[in-house]
Amino acid sequence: MDKALVGMCVNERRFVKIPPKLAYGSEGVSGVIPPNAVLHFDVLLIDLWNSEDEVQIQTYLKPEKCTRTIQVSDFVRYHYNGTFLDGTLFDSSHNRMRTYDTYVGIGWLIPGMDKGLLGMCVGEKRIITIPPSLAYGEEGDGKEIPGQASLVFDVALLDLHNPKDGITIENQQVPESCERKSQTGDFLRYHYNGTLLDGTLFDSSYSRNHTYDTYIGKGYVIAGMDEGLLGVCIGEKKRIIIPPHLGYGEEGRGKIPGSAVLVFDIHVIDFHNPLDSVNITTHYKPSNCTVLSKKGDYLKYHYNASLLDGTLLDSTISLGKTYNIVLGSGQVVLGMDMGLRDMCVGERRTVIIPPHLGYGEAGVEGEVPGSAVLVFDIELLELVSGLPDGYMFVWHGDVSPNLFEEIDKDNNGEVFLEEFSEYIQAQVDSGKGKLAPGFDSAKIVKNMFANQDRNGDGKITAEEFKLKDQEATEGHDEL
């Protein structure tokens, strides 16, 4: 048998015929093998090893890019099929649909696996053959693995990190112009693709067609992302690699397995700070700039509106008409109201408006994203001076001491809306009076009439009629 087994391969089958002189000779084995018996053996070789054998490694797939390999004390996640030399499967992480997660080189694994995993890259696949002396030895594991068994592991490495790792930044693309970098407390909007180290996608803001919006440096996101988003520029793109102790830890979350390294490819769309005010940059101001816009003025202007990343939202130029407002009347967002003040006709400026002075967290559905910083390029084309604060009509000269009688043309002691409207319009047409610009004149007059009609009976009497400066309290927009 010693001679017959030499040169055999695992899973090889031989029929061996042994004459008595090379077997049990003339004596045989009492009660089992008679003397001078020829022995016939049907042999199937299951396993073989040598006491001097070491771990054997056969790599059959290795990524072109391998920036890091497994070192002692690294934590790894890998899939494997475990078989004996004859191909019999004794264990598989694939069947459990869960990776095997462990430290390498510190005794958490059998010695042969500790050695066999060293030097692997993420994405690499190798076959590790381990002799029993570096596996479960003479005793086996007491379950599936018999004593003196050689083990074969087909391993695919999915992930690796070291507990001492910090975040890693790769493929950083910074815009040429970067006037401001993000700081703790800023509110940031960004797109991202989130993958595991093996490339498995677990989340994407692009698929939702909505940026991820969050404060940074305040613990609103995982620690690694909090760190990776500090110091970025608007428009910047980069890859942030986050070890699990700065990600979702041993437990994982949703589609993210426990102890997983996370890879985020991010694109910063915009950011601001809740303490930000409107930022105004003047590009052109006429030399003769004496009349400046103020609250109550009626303005006509052109604008291009965009996001910080350059995405165009709206343009009056493309529509071929100006945008017209009364400054300070709430007809535009507060930031635009602030940005249009102290401006002269012909001036051009850029106004950057943070969301809390723009459209806030909600934005405008289908037009302006929530929490978006807005950029307006503005040119003021026309300015009509408004009235003093609180007035909707003013006189250009002295007021007639017999004002009520002049309005009451039929001298019946009562003024109706039609009489009142005709008189006010006549004063405006003659240049003796002025209505607040930018509003519906009929509505202004109707409002003035209602304020004078104190009992609401649809007519004004001499007792009800008072001028603005005769009012005991403020709050009426009448004469």
- Which residues carry out catalysis? 192, 202-203, 222, 248, 264
d(CA 285, CA 347): 5
H helices of 209-275, where?
A: 223-228
d(CA 141, CA 136): 6
H or E stretch covering 414: strand 414-415
Please count the other Cβ atoms lying within 10 Å of the Cβ belonging to residue 205: 19
d(CA 464, CA 211): 59
Residue type, 304: N
Q: Which two tokens stand for residue 317?
A: 């130029």
Three-state DSSP at 243 gives coil
DSSP result, 272-334: E-TT---EEEEEE--S-------TT-EEEEEEEEEETT--EEEEHHHHTS-EEEETTTTSS-H
CB 431 within 8 A of CB 394: no
CB 424 within 8 A of CB 444: no
**103 CA to centre of own chain:** 32
